[in-house]
Amino acid sequence: MEESRHYFIGIQIPEQLAHQIKADIDKRSELSFQKWTAPIDYHVTLVFLGAIPEDRLNKISELLEQLSHEMSAFPLKLNEIGVFGQIERPRVFFAKPSESKPLMDVREKVKEAVLSADHPVEKRPFHPHMTIARKWNADHPYIEQAPLRKEPYSMEVSSIALFEIRLKETPRYHVIKQFTLHK
């Protein structure tokens, strides 16, 4: 039986920056999680699509191509740490971007493109983040973490991407199409 493919639209973290973040995280011996995200898979999800018919995926891709001509590159900073789930035993450990109007604007435009292609978007509030690890795996409780370092990690977001999820591979998130921000 063939598994259905799942997709999302997001911002890929540059490889060099991802490896720097991972090296800094590895210095924290008090972190004990069951599943660690490979640096090559670091990203910030804008819209999760899930399983989607190919014709609708193509329509979304066309809309994102048009949209990319209306959007400008913007800076993104990552440094703060957060968790989802119970604070003592978090489900997800992540780095979150600094608040950014350009990031929220891009997310809103991508969301509108997906909706205009008649594909649903999660109704939960959008909390931009880059997943680092999952499932707390220690007898002692998780202790709130300080930022990753004194100065935030900075990058220029000059494109967004359509990713396919391949759970049994590493990397598990494959860029299907890149959309350069042109404005």
Q: Mean pLDDT of successive 10-residue segments in the chain (183 residues)?
A: 80 96 91 95 97 95 96 95 95 94 97 96 93 95 90 96 92 96 83
- Exactly one of 19, 119, 129, 174 is catalytic; name it: 129
Distances (CA, A) of 111 to 76, 99, 123, 174, 183: 19, 18, 11, 20, 19
One-letter amino acid of 179: F
In the annotation, is 182 catalytic? no
**Distance spanning both ends of the chain, measured CA to CA:** 44
Q: What's the pTM value of the predicted model, to 2 decimals? A: 0.93
List Cβ neighbours of 149 (8 Å cut-off, separation of 6 or more).
24, 79
- Exactly one of 6, 19, 43, 69 is catalytic; name it: 43
Q: Please name each of the domains of the chain with its CATH number.
A: 6-180 (3.90.1140.10)
In the annotation, is 6 catalytic? no
Say if CB 114 and CB 49 are below 8 A apart. Answer: yes
